[in-house]
Chains A and B, each alone.
Chain A
C-alpha cells in the first residue's frame, strides 16, 4: 500500500539549505533516512523541492492560461518535498514517519496514495 509523506518546512528551514555551514547537518540525516527506506525495501520514489520562491503557478481562466510567480499558498510552512513509501498499512507508515529527521517548524503529512475506485 503506497503512502506519501509530504514535508512542509518554514522559511528558516529553506534558508538553511543556502548556508554551506549548515547544509551537511541538514542533508546527512535525510540521506541516511532514504538509505534506510531503500535498504528495507520500502522506498518507492520522491523528491525534495527547491525553494517556494522559485515556483511558477499556473491556472486557467476560461481557456487562457494565467502564469504567476509562486508559491501558490501564502502559508507559514511551504511544501518542501514528498516521499512515497510502500508499506503494509498506516501503522507501519507511521513507524517510518516517526523516524523522519525533524526541524523546528517542520510538519509531516501522511496520506495514502489514491487508488482507482472499483465501480
Chain B
C-alpha cells in the first residue's frame, strides 16, 4: 500500500512533471514559484497518498494542490505588500479553474519557448529545458555540461528569475517570430543530445540517459508542432545517430569509424522511423539545417541496404549545409565528403579555406587533415596533424584508434 503509493508518486513525477510545471508556470509566469508549489504538492502527496490511497487522477490531485500553494503564497505576499495589481492578477490566474483540473492542456511547448527566449543566456537554455520540462536535477545537468554544480544552479536560477522579472510571456510566438525562436528551441534540444552522444563509452550511465531525454524532447516537439519541418528534421537526425549507438564501438570497446561500422548492429526500427520523419519533413518544402543534416545521416544509413556510400550525394548535401550554416563542422564535413567522392587534393583545398584560428581546438579538422595528408603521401605533415588530433581527443577510444594509426 505504502509501496504502491510511493511508486505512483514516482511515476507521476517522471511522466507528468513537465506537463504539470508547464501548466502551473504558464499561468503564474513564474517558474520558481511554480516549482516550489509543485514540490510542495509532491511533498503533500508523499504524506497523504500512503494514508488515504492513491487518488483516481493523480495529476489532477497534484495540480489542485500546487495551485492552492500558489494561491496561499500570493495571499501571504499580498498581506505583506498591500495587494499590487500584479499579485492580484497572479491570484486570479491561479484560481482560474482551480476546482476541477481533470483535463489540462499540454503547455510544455510554451515552456520550451520561454526557456529559449532571446533574453535568456544561450548557455542556460538547454539546462533550463532539461530541468523544467524533464525535471532533471542541477547536479546531473552540471555533469552533463561539465560545469560546477554550484555554477549550474546559479545559472538556472538566474534564468528563472529573468523569466519572472522580465515578464517573459509563456506563449508560442506568432508566425513572424516563430522561425528564429524555434531555432533556439531546436538548438537547445540538439545540444542536450550532443552531450549525451559524446559519451559513447557509457562511462557515465546518467549521461547516456541525456541522449534519450533529448530524443524525448524532440519527439515531444514533433507532437506539439507537427507542421514544423525542422522539428521533424531534428528528430530524424537524432534518431539516425541513435540507431548506431551499439555499432560505435567494437567488441573490445575500440573506436569504429562510421564507414566501418557493422550495419547489422544498427537499429532498423529507429532508421525507419527517421526515414518516415524526414520524408514527411521534405514534403513540406521548407528546407533547413536539421533536415539537411538528417539527409546526410540518411545517406550513410543507406549502406545497410545498398552496401556502399553515395559520397557524391553526401558532398552535395554538405555543399547545401555550408550555404545555410557555414560552421567549421559543416566545412570539415564537406571537405571529407569531397575527398571521398573525388580526390584527396580536392578535400585538402577546401580544408585550407577554413581560418586557422577557427580550428585551433577542433579535433575533427586535425583528424581529417592527417588522413588526407597521408593519402597525398605527405607523411611528416600527416604525423604532425595526427599528433594534434590525438591531443585534442575527448574520447579515449578515438584517442587509442589514432595513436595506433600513428604507429
Residues on A lying within 8 angstroms of B by beta carbon are: 28-29, 31-37, 39-41, 91, 94-95, 97-99, 101-102
Contacts and interface: CB of A to CB of B under 8 A. Distances in A.
14 contacts: A28-B390, A28-B403, A29-B399, A31-B387, A32-B391, A33-B390, A34-B391, A35-B391, A39-B360, A39-B388, A41-B360, A97-B146, A99-B394, A102-B396
B139 to A, nearest CB: 16
B212 interface: no
A37 B391 CA distance: 8
Contacts, number: 47
Contacts of B147: 91, 94
A18 B393 CA distance: 26
Nearest to B386: A32
Contacts of A35: 387-388, 391
B350 interface: no
B361 interface: yes
A99 B360 contact: no
Leading 3 A-B pairs by shortest Cβ distance: A36-B391, A32-B390, A32-B391
Nearest to B406: A28
B360 A40 contact: yes
Nearest to A29: B399
A40 B394 CA distance: 16
A34 B393 CA distance: 12
A28 B392 CA distance: 13
Nearest to A40: B360
For the residues of A in contact with B, the DSSP-based class is helix
A41 B361 CA distance: 10
Contacts of A34: 391
Interface string B343-381: 000000000000000001100000000000000000000
Contacts of B360: 39-41
Contacts of B390: 28-29, 32-33, 36
Contact of B361 (A33, A40, A101, A102): A40
A99 B396 contact: no
A36 B359 CA distance: 12
A33 B391 contact: yes
Contacts of B394: 98-99
Contacts of B403: 28-29, 32
A28 B41 CA distance: 55
